[in-house]
Amino acid sequence: MAMPILVHAWKEQVIREQLVHLLDRQDLATCRLICRDLALELAPLLFTEITIFFRSGILTKPSHLAVLQRIGPFIQSMTFKMPHTAETFLPPVIDPMSGKEQTFMYTPQCHQTRPKNPRYGSWEMTDLLVKQYPPLFHAAADIPSFVQAFSSMPNLCHLRINCDGQLPSHRYRRSIVDYALISLRIAVEQAPLLSLNRLSLLSVHPGAVLYLRPSLSFGASPASRKRWSQIRHLSIRMASFPHETGPTDHLKLLHAYLHSFPALHSLVFHWEGQKGLSPISLASEPCLTRPINRALGQYGTQKTKASLRPLKMPSLQHMELVNATIDASQVASFIFDHRHSLHEFNLQDVHLRTGSWDEALAPLTKLSGNERWKETQKHASAIDVPIVLSPAGVSQKQLQRAICAVQRQKDGLRSLAQTRVRERIWGRPDHMKRLVPPSVLSWR
């Protein structure tokens, strides 16, 4: 009799909110063992977000697939983790008879192959890969298992991909992680993920965008970009790659990859390691242009430069750039081109190669018609705060109260300054929604 009463109490919103606030996730998971009805009530709460550590058999074992099909409708956020380790390294394919390296041309098999058909192009190559490559590779190349797994999550809204740990010496070698990214991309495109609108690439290597790009990639089709056009929020944390002395192919791939999301509302990009070039202005980088010759008939030839297509995001509202190098003219051009939609533009740890911040934010002066925002920003960013150096005779409690009072004073001045920025420059809040808010001025 106690069990139905407990389940009935859980269905009450007030009681449920209090229990969720008081109990941690492990305790809620233990409550599922009380009775079946309570387990069904707790499933939507506990399985809203899951993490899959990809291993061989994680998506192919019938028991795992059965569990995923039961909890799949509750999943709204999923993290796919597959770090680069010694297990993901792929050695060259060697012919045991001649000792020569064999070239493996990978063609994704989106459907289950029949027993009479080779899985990897030819019977000879299939036999070599089965004998020389680990089971993790064959699990990563099993596209039907990925499609079946993602088809079990029809309400998935947020997809996270984490594949960190790549060594700099392996940047030009394909690993098992890359084959898993190909299978994941094809599965997302084929599964009925109508609610997917957020994508986060966490600590990915530069070559990941080659395998995640929906066009001109492995197994891509004309309908591949349809699923990725649903993405409204994109966040990328990518390992930096030297571009001053080395090749710049990874930057061109990144530029082409960002063109796959025409309806973005927010974009967050973070270079990990040393500072990299700004991904929003790669079309204007001199290192990414190549000289070409155009024939002009009897007048000879003329050398010109072929540039990349500029990145345009007509619906972009929030932009955040971290640990990058950019020109003041590039910042000004981006703000002016997106003035009708951009609400917030944050720059953190960004270095200006040329120009000043006044030149970078010159579109704000042009659009507002005055330079009062500079004076307001000066007062908002430079607030005099007394420094307390633990004077003698003052207790720790009194010192903490003084610090809290100073912090409240600082927050109040900043809030007042931001309010004056909105009143002096834009007049009404409706104008701010069309252009850039005061947070654009909080660069570091």
Residue 199 is assigned to a structural domain of this protein: yes
Pair of tokens at residue 181: 């990214």
Residue 307 is assigned to a structural domain of this protein: no
Check whether residue 35 and residue 126 sit in a common domain: no
Cβ proximity of 47 and 29 under 8 Å: no
Check whether residue 141 and residue 279 sit in a common domain: yes
Check whether residue 406 and residue 276 sit in a common domain: no
Check whether residue 271 and residue 395 sit in a common domain: no
Check whether residue 56 and residue 26 sit in a common domain: no
Residue 208 is assigned to a structural domain of this protein: yes
Check whether residue 246 and residue 375 sit in a common domain: no
Check whether residue 249 and residue 103 sit in a common domain: yes
pLDDT (tens digit, 9 = 90+) per residue, 172-218?
889 999 999 999 999 999 999 999 999 999 989 988 999 999 887 88
Amino acid residing at 195: S
Check whether residue 27 and residue 77 sit in a common domain: no
Output the pTM of the full model: 0.76
Pair of tokens at residue 155: 């309400």
Rounded Cα distance, 323 and 321, in Å: 7
Pick the most confident of 2-11, 34-43, 314-323.
314-323
Check whether residue 281 and residue 375 sit in a common domain: no
Check whether residue 97 and residue 225 sit in a common domain: yes
The domain containing residue 53 runs over which residues? 49-287+316-365
Rg of the Cα atoms in the chain: 27
pLDDT (tens digit, 9 = 90+) per residue, 394-417?
455 555 665 566 566 555 555 554
Residue 42 is assigned to a structural domain of this protein: yes
Check whether residue 374 and residue 351 sit in a common domain: no
Q: Which of 60, 69, 64 is nearest to 138 (CA)?
A: 60
pLDDT (tens digit, 9 = 90+) per residue, 371-394?
665 665 554 443 333 333 344 444
pLDDT band for position 257 (cuts 50, 70, 90): very high
Which of 67-71, 86-90, 301-305, 372-376 is predicted with the least confidence, judged by mean pLDDT?
301-305
Check whether residue 133 and residue 63 sit in a common domain: yes
Rounded Cα distance, 14 and 105, in Å: 59
Residue 149 is assigned to a structural domain of this protein: yes
Which residues are CB-contacts of 106 (< 8 A; sequence separation ≥ 6)?
120, 141, 179, 218
Structural domain ending residue among the three candidates 30, 46, 62: 46
pLDDT for residue 264 is more than 60: yes
Residue 66 is assigned to a structural domain of this protein: yes
Residue 390 is assigned to a structural domain of this protein: yes
Domain total of the chain: 3
204 — phi, psi (to 5°)? -95, 155
DSSP, residue by residue, 149-210: HHHT-TT--EEEEE-----GGGTTS--HHHHHHHHHHHHHHHS--TT--EEEEEEE-TTHHH
Residue 53 is assigned to a structural domain of this protein: yes
